[in-house]
Structure 1
C-alpha cells in the first residue's frame, strides 16, 4: 500500500510538472509569469545556409547553437509570393496568420489602418505582452500602429546601386566589393544595418529586463538579402578556391522566362547571363560572408538574454521569410518552386523544449505565429490558417497537419504541390509540368514527368493541387488546365 502511494505521488508530481506542451499547457503557463518570446527573422536565407544543417562551407556558430539547444523543423516552407517581392507575401502571412491570397486581401485593409486588432502583436497584447519590433518590415500595416515600441523601421531591401548588378563578369571585374561603403546598401547611414538592428534589440532588452510584463520581440534582419555586403574580415573567411559550385548549377534555366523569372527580373540581374561558375562562386562567397556577419549580431542578442537572466523564461524562434537560389538551377533569386527557394531553417529554443531534436513533418514557417499565440495563452482565432507546432514537438510520430505543401508565384506563373516525397511544379502559361522524386533526388535534378509510368501519379498530385488551391483562395482555373494537360 505504501509503495502504491509513493508511485501515485510520483505520477501526480510528474504529470503536473513535466510538460507544458500538452492540453494543459495554457493552464500551466498561467501559474507562472508568462514566458517572453523573441522572434528572429532573416531575409533570403535558405535552409542550406546553416552549418549545423549540412552546409560545411558556411560558418554559423550561433545558428548552430540554436539547432543544438532546441528543436529544428527540417521541412519548413513558404508558400511563395504574389509578385517578385516574395518577402512581402511571406511577412504578410506571418503578421496576419492567413494563407497567401487572404493575406494579400487583408493587407489592403492594413493600408487603411483597418483590421489591425487581428495582427500578431495585437493578439499578444491581449495577454499582457509588451511588444517591440525593429528592422525590416515590408508589411502594409504601420508598425507603430500595432507594436507598443518600435526601433528602426527598415525598407524592403537596402538601397543598392547599379554597380551591384551583372557582376562579376570575370576575374578582372573588381569594382564592387562587399566592404566598399561608397556603394551604400547596408552601409547607408554609417552603421551596417545588421549591426543597427542588433543595437536596437539590445537597447530594448536593457529596458524590458527591468519590467514585470512579458515581452514579445520581432527582430527582423535584412541580411543575407542583396546587396550582400559585410566587413572585409568576413569575406576573407571564405577564400574563393574553397567555395564549391552547387550540383544543380546551370548556365541558364530553360524555363526561366515562361515561369516569370527571366532576365528582366531584378533578382536575376545580379549575375551575368549566361551564368558562369566564377560568378556563382563570388555570389556565394558574399552570401556566406554576410550570413556569418549576421550570425555574430544574433550572438550578441542571445548573450544579452543570458546576461539579463531572461533565457530561462524565454522562447526563441528563428526562421527566414524564404530561401534563395544563388546559382542553383541557373537562377539567382527566390521566384521559383525549388526547395532552395521555398524551404527555410526553422529553429525553436525554450525552457521546456528538448535539445538537438529534429522534426521532419512538413510545416509552414508562418506556423511560428500560431505557436507563439499558443505559448502566450491566446486562443487562436478562426481566421488564422496556420497551426501551432507544439504537438509535433511532443509527438515525433505525428504527421503534418497539411495535406501537402502548396506553392505559388504570381497570379498564373507557377503552381506547386509537395507531398509524399514528390513535388509537382506547373508553369500554367505554357502547361509545362515538372515532377521530382525528392526521396531519391533531393536536389531536384531529374524531371521524371515525361516517364509514362508516372502518369497516374501526376494525375493524383494535380487533383490534390486543385484541392489545395481552393483551400487557399486561389482563383486560377487549374481544372481547365488539368483537362488540357492530362488526357
Structure 2
C-alpha cells in the first residue's frame, strides 16, 4: 500500500507496472469495455426474407379466414408484427410476379419500375438492386428459388442455390379441370407430370434443403447474412405429396361466398377464359372445380409451410436467431375461385393483398392495420443494415410504423393492371375503374370485405366517388401512370 507521503515518482511496482499507472488506466479500460458492449448492441442484424408466390392474405392459419393449415407460419406470427393490410401495387404484365419482384428489388413504384424493367442488369451493375446495397453494407448475400427479375441472380448475390424461372412447367392435363367429380386425369402428387416434381424432388423441398445448408455455413461466419428465400409455391401447377392433398378432402372445401360462374367484365378487364391463369378451371366455373383448385392450393401452402418450419428451426440452431429479422410475405394474392376468377390479374383484395410478418429484436408482436406495400420490406432492411435510403427508392420503411413513430405511410393504396384496370383504396372504401368496359365499382370494405355489393350507382356515395377519383389522379402522378381516364366515368 502507498503511504500518504509518497509522490507519484516513487510508486511501488506491482508486477511490471506501477500501481498508480494501473489505477490511471482504469477509466480507459472501463471506456473500452463500454465500447465493446455498444459494438455488440449495434452489430448489424441478419436478415431472413421468406417469399411465397401467389399466396393471398387469407390463406394463413393465424388469420383464421380459410381452412388452410400453416402451423409453422402461425408460430412465426406469434412472435411477429403482422401487417394486415399489405398490398402489391399492380402490374404492366399478365405475369404479375415479374412486376412485383421488379418493384421489390429496385424500390420503385410500378410504372417507374416498368421503365427500368429491361435495364435491371445495368441497375445491378450500378449497385442499385436490393442485394447490391446489402453487399455494400457488408452482408453475405444468398438467394435460392424463384428470381424472375431481368438481372443475373448469380451476379446479384454472393451465393445462389437453384435459381428457378417464373413457374414450373405446366402440362395440358393441368388446365380446364376438373370437368366432373369423376375427372382424375391429373393428380397433384403424380410425378409423371413434372412441374414441381421436375428433377425428382419437389421444388419447395429443394428450397428448404438449400436454405438450411446455407444457414449451417453461416453459423460459422461472423459476417451478417441476407437471405432471399423465394418459393415457387403455391403457384400452379399446385402439386404436393399425396398426404398433404389428403388433408383437404375436396367435398369439404368451402366455396367462397362471392362465387360466380362468370365474371361479367372478364374480357374487358383482361381476364377472358383464354388467359392462362383463368384457363386452369372450366368455364363457366363450377363449385366443384373451385373446391378442387382450392384443395390443391391449400395443400401446396401447407407443404411449403413445412419447409419454412425447417428453415426457421435451422436459424435457431445457428445461435443467431436473436439477432435476426425474419420477413414473410408473398408477391401478390390469387382469386382461386373468388368472383368467378382464378388468377391474380384483378384488383380485388384476394388478389392484391398478401400476408406480411416481421419478427426481430426491436419488433413487438401484434397486429398493425396501416395500409402498406409488400415492397416496403426492401427499404426496411436497408434501414436495419444502416444504409441511407437511396434517392430512387420510393417505397417506405416499415420500421417507423413498427416502432410506433408514425401511424401510416401512405394516404391511399393505388393499384393498376395493364391499361384495363385501376383502383384506389382509402378510408375503408375502394374505387375500381374499368376504362374499356366504361364501368366503375365502389365497395365499402368495412361492411362488405368480400367486395360483393357495388355502391357506384347509389347517389348517397356520389361525393365519395369524386373524392376517391381525385385521390387516384394524385397517385397517378406519383407512380408515373400516364393512362387518361375521363372523369365523367365517375359522375
Q: Normalising to structure 2: TM-score of the pair?
A: 0.91
Q: Which residue is equivalent to 1:21?
A: none
Once superposed, what is the RMSD of the aligned Cα atoms? 1.4
Separation in 2, partners of 1:139, 1:237: 35
Structure 1 residue 212: deviation in Å?
Answer: 1.0
Work out which of the residue numbers 391, 407, 419 in structure 2 matches 1:399.
Answer: 407
Separation in 2, partners of 1:212, 1:485: 59
Separation in 2, partners of 1:216, 1:445: 42
Work out which of the residue numbers 451, 461, 467 in structure 2 matches 1:460.
Answer: 467
Q: Secondary structure at the match of 1:103?
A: helix
| 2:308 matches 1:298 | yes
Q: Which residue is equivalent to 1:167?
A: 177
- Cα 1:28–1:242 change in 2 (3 A) is farther
Separation in 2, partners of 1:69, 1:260: 40
| 2:329 matches 1:319 | yes
Q: Which residue is equivalent to 1:155?
A: 165
| 2:250 matches 1:240 | yes
Paired residues of 2:346 and 2:417 also in contact (CA < 8 A): yes
Paired residues of 1:110 and 1:116 also in contact (CA < 8 A): no
| 2:375 matches 1:371 | no
Work out which of the residue numbers 256, 268, 284 in structure 2 matches 1:258.
Answer: 268
Q: Which residue is equivalent to 1:440?
A: 447
Structure 1 residue 113: deviation in Å?
Answer: 6.5
Structure 1 residue 405: deviation in Å?
Answer: 0.3
- Cα 1:30–1:455 change in 2 (3 A) is farther
Paired residues of 2:324 and 2:361 also in contact (CA < 8 A): yes
Separation in 2, partners of 1:28, 1:257: 61
Deviations 1:227-268 (A, max 9, x none): 000000000111123211010111111011110111111000
Paired residues of 2:124 and 2:156 also in contact (CA < 8 A): no
Deviations 1:29-48 (A, max 9, x none): 88532110000000000000
Q: Secondary structure at the match of 1:217?
A: strand
Structure 1 residue 56: deviation in Å?
Answer: 4.8
Separation in 2, partners of 1:334, 1:417: 17
Paired residues of 1:37 and 1:372 also in contact (CA < 8 A): yes
| 2:427 matches 1:423 | no
Paired residues of 2:167 and 2:232 also in contact (CA < 8 A): yes
Structure 1 residue 486: deviation in Å?
Answer: 4.0
| 2:203 matches 1:196 | no
Work out which of the residue numbers 386, 392, 412 in structure 2 matches 1:383.
Answer: 392
Deviations 1:58-82 (A, max 9, x none): 1100111121111000000001111
Paired residues of 1:109 and 1:115 also in contact (CA < 8 A): no
Aligned residues: 455
Separation in 2, partners of 1:306, 1:283: 35
Separation in 2, partners of 1:61, 1:413: 38
Q: Which residue is equivalent to 1:79?
A: 89
Structure 1 residue 116: deviation in Å?
Answer: 4.2
Separation in 2, partners of 1:286, 1:309: 36
Q: Secondary structure at the match of 1:360?
A: strand
| 2:288 matches 1:278 | yes
Work out which of the residue numbers 178, 183, 194 in structure 2 matches 1:184.
Answer: 194
Q: Which residue is equivalent to 1:361?
A: 370
Structure 1 residue 351: deviation in Å?
Answer: 2.2
Q: Which residue is equivalent to 2:278?
A: 268
Structure of greater Rg: 2
Q: Which residue is equivalent to 2:29?
A: none
Q: Which residue is equivalent to 2:26?
A: none
Q: Secondary structure at the match of 1:182?
A: helix
Separation in 2, partners of 1:244, 1:222: 25
| 2:226 matches 1:220 | no
Paired residues of 1:407 and 1:416 also in contact (CA < 8 A): yes
- Cα 1:198–1:242 change in 2 (3 A) is same
Paired residues of 1:42 and 1:319 also in contact (CA < 8 A): yes
Q: Secondary structure at the match of 1:40?
A: strand
Paired residues of 2:145 and 2:164 also in contact (CA < 8 A): yes
Q: Which residue is equivalent to 1:19?
A: none
Paired residues of 2:261 and 2:340 also in contact (CA < 8 A): yes
Separation in 2, partners of 1:101, 1:406: 12
Structure 1 runs not aligned, ≥5 long = 1-26
Separation in 2, partners of 1:29, 1:314: 16
Q: Secondary structure at the match of 1:329?
A: helix
Separation in 2, partners of 1:385, 1:30: 32
Separation in 2, partners of 1:248, 1:270: 19
Structure 1 residue 110: deviation in Å?
Answer: 1.7
| 2:69 matches 1:59 | yes
Q: Which residue is equivalent to 1:485?
A: 489
